[in-house]
């Protein structure tokens, strides 16, 4: 048996993994300037869209387990970016609210996607191809998320 299926170049997962890591690395200087990590940036983007979500709702949106998200949210609270409050109707539910500092960070972060898009425009992929890639990845995420 030649095990062609086990060669790294024959895998779908590796280029997706590598691209994700490299994109995250491209974000890092911008996020360092704000004093946040990439996962914190993702949480902030979700809350900038809809403040006051439960930990569960954020975990679903980011496709993260709550046991991964909870320590991240605790660190964000310690940084003064969010507050965590137990629901008065159900104490098992913890709601996450942006603090004034977390809300203000939105303005500072507003141009990060534009800078990254400019950088991606320097690739061999045109805007249409990048949008198609994004669409295909969303379909793949939707399909794999059904499990």
**Euclidean distance between CA atoms 72 and 111, whole angstroms:** 24
Confidence of residue 1 (pLDDT cuts 50, 70, 90): confident
Residue 5 inside a domain? The answer is: no
Which residue segment(s) compose the domain that 117 sits in?
A: 111-147
Phi first, then psi: give them for residue 53, nearest 5 degrees.
Answer: -75, 160
Helices (H) and strands (E) in the chain, counts: 7, 2
pLDDT digits (tens, 9 = 90+) for 20-50: 999 999 999 999 999 999 999 999 999 999 9
- Which has the closest alpha carbon to 96: 133, 131, 69? 69
Residue 143 lies in a domain: yes
- The model's pLDDT over 75-117, given as tens digits with 9 standing for 90+, comes to 999 999 999 999 888 888 999 999 999 999 999 999 999 999 8
- pTM, two decimals, is 0.91
* Euclidean distance between CA atoms 75 and 96, whole angstroms: 13
Check whether residue 79 and residue 116 sit in a common domain: no
For residue 4, being part of any structural domain is answered with: no
Q: How many domains does the chain have?
A: 2
**What confidence category does residue 127 fall into, taking pLDDT thresholds of 50, 70 and 90?**
confident
Residue 96 lies in a domain: yes
The model's pLDDT over 53-79, given as tens digits with 9 standing for 90+, comes to 999 999 999 999 999 999 999 999 999
Question: Coil, helix or strand for 38?
Answer: helix
Q: Is the domain of 122 the same as that of 88?
A: no
Residue 84 CA to residue 82 CA, distance in Å, equals 7
């Amino acid at each position: 048996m030649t095990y062609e299926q086990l060669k790294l170049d024959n895998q779908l997962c590796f280029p997706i993994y590598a691209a994700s890591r490299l994109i995250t690395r491209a974000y890092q200087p911008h996020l360092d300037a704000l004093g946040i990590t990439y996962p914190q940036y993702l949480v902030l983007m979700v809350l900038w869209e809809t403040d006051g979500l439960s930990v569960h709702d954020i975990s679903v949106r980011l496709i993260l387990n709550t046991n991964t998200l909870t320590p991240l949210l605790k660190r964000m609270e310690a940084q003064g970016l969010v507050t965590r409050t137990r629901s008065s109707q159900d104490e098992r539910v913890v709601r996450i609210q942006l603090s004034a500092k977390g809300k203000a960070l939105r303005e500072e972060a507003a141009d990060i996607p534009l800078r990254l898009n400019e950088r991606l425009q320097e690739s061999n992929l045109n805007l249409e191809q990048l949008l198609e890639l994004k669409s295909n990845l969303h379909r793949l995420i939707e399909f794999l998320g059904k499990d």
